């Protein structure tokens, strides 16, 4: 009965969303365009290279070699701090599939080895809102500090056997395979951003965002438009760039949402992990880390911002690409590499069979 009710609700939701896309096509088009531009200008440049590097480290066995001396947690934790949200989780899922760690270890460490990455924080959040000040470092220190505190609480659950692997495998196809797999993951991330932009405009047109913004405004005392921007950011962290520029009182909130990731990132994590880890445990751990991050941010703000002036009229070319053309070319090249890996463009085999 529950399964039928769930299926019925899912079908009804899809139909309602489809009707909205048909009747409000102009608003949907604008939201998709803005989401695609955010992906091309910020998300892809800040995440793609680190995702490829993480695949190379995992597939070559370098992570296993380092882990044989330090354990699996330290290298994955350090790498996830700089790489971006799905990278650490992806590495741990690969280690679990290979039998190097248990399911419990993968679940617990996935909730800790989770970070936006310095490039994303400075490129998509702090760089857009505050320029070249210390705000980006404050968010980074707050989120990493929260993960360190969380790891101390979870030490008893991190214990367990780790299957050591000292072998390093280097082959000519390693780079192509890493680019291909990273391209697929990057596609999932960008499509998630685009999808949630449609969800956001749907909630806006139905008045749900306005109602939630009004409730949050009454609780916090902030202007309703600012509260609505905060809600959009909780749904998709890439919307943070649309918040009030230069408002340092938003830093604890930005630290909170950066540590949590937002609903869109949770869907990305679910797409990467599938049924391999418990999303409920992951969410509980990230809420704890998000609260701790906001507290740490509030404590270090007076120290790190002392005597600094906010410069919001910065040269944004430092934080985003001047043109989306390089990102588009990168996507096209990735597509051809994926196609070649899957044999879509293997014309030599076809000609040999015809001969």
The pLDDT value given to residue 346: 47
The pLDDT value given to residue 328: 55
Confidence check: pLDDT of 258 > 90: yes
pLDDT in tens, 159-218: 666 666 556 777 767 878 888 878 877 887 788 888 888 888 898 888 899 999 999 999
Instruction: Over range 267-286, report the average pLDDT.
Output: 81
| For the ranges 19-28, 30-39, 251-260, the one whose mean pLDDT is highest | 251-260
Confidence check: pLDDT of 87 > 50: yes
Q: pLDDT-based confidence at 348, cuts 50/70/90?
A: very low
| For the ranges 98-112, 170-184, 331-345, the one whose mean pLDDT is highest | 98-112
The pLDDT value given to residue 236: 85
The pLDDT value given to residue 315: 39
Instruction: Over range 76-101, report the average pLDDT.
Output: 79
| For the ranges 61-75, 91-105, 298-312, the one whose mean pLDDT is highest | 91-105
Confidence check: pLDDT of 314 > 70: no
The first and second tokens of residue 31, run together, are 């939201």
More confident residue, 59 or 314: 59
Confidence check: pLDDT of 5 > 90: no
Confidence check: pLDDT of 94 > 70: yes
Residue with tokens 């707050």: 142
The pLDDT value given to residue 211: 92
Q: pLDDT-based confidence at 146, cuts 50/70/90?
A: very high
Instruction: Over range 142-166, report the average pLDDT.
Output: 79
Confidence check: pLDDT of 102 > 70: yes
Confidence check: pLDDT of 320 > 50: no
Mean pLDDT score of the chain:
79
């Amino acid at each position: 009965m529950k399964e039928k009710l769930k299926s019925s609700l899912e079908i009804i939701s899809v139909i309602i969303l489809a009707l909205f896309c048909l009747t409000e096509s102009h608003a949907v088009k604008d939201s998709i365009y803005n989401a695609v531009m955010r992906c091309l200008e910020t998300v892809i440049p800040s995440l793609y290279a680190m995702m490829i590097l993480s695949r190379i480290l995992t597939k070559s066995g370098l992570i296993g070699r380092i882990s044989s001396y330090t354990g699996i947690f330290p290298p994955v934790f350090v790498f996830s701090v700089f790489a971006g949200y799905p990278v650490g989780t992806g590495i741990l899922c690969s280690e679990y599939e290979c039998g190097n760690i248990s399911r419990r270890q993968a679940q617990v460490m996935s909730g800790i080895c989770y970070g936006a990455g310095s490039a994303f924080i400075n490129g998509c959040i702090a760089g857009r809102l505050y320029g070249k000040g210390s705000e980006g470092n404050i968010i980074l220190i707050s989120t990493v500090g929260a993960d360190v505190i969380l790891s101390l609480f979870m030490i008893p659950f991190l214990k367990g056997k780790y299957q050591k692997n000292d072998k390093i495998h280097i082959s000519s196809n390693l780079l192509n395979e890493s680019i291909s797999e990273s391209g697929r993951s990057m596609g999932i991330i960008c499509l998630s951003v685009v999808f949630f932009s449609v969800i956001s405009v749907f909630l806006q047109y139905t008045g749900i965002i306005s109602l939630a913004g009004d409730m949050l405004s009454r609780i916090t005392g902030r202007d309703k438009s600012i509260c609505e921007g905060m809600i959009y950011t909780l749904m998709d962290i890439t919307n943070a760039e649309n918040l009030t520029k230069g408002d340092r009182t938003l830093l604890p909130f930005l630290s909170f949402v950066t540590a949590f990731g937002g609903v869109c990132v949770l869907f990305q994590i679910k797409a990467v992990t599938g049924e391999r880890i418990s999303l409920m445990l992951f969410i509980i751990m990230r809420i704890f880390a998000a609260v701790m991050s906001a507290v740490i941010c509030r404590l270090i703000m007076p120290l790190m911002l002392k005597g600094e002036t906010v410069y919001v009229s910065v040269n944004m070319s430092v934080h985003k690409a001047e043109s989306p053309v390089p990102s588009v070319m990168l996507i096209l090249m990735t597509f051809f590499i994926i196609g070649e890996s899957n044999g879509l463009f293997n014309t030599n085999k076809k000609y040999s069979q015809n001969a």
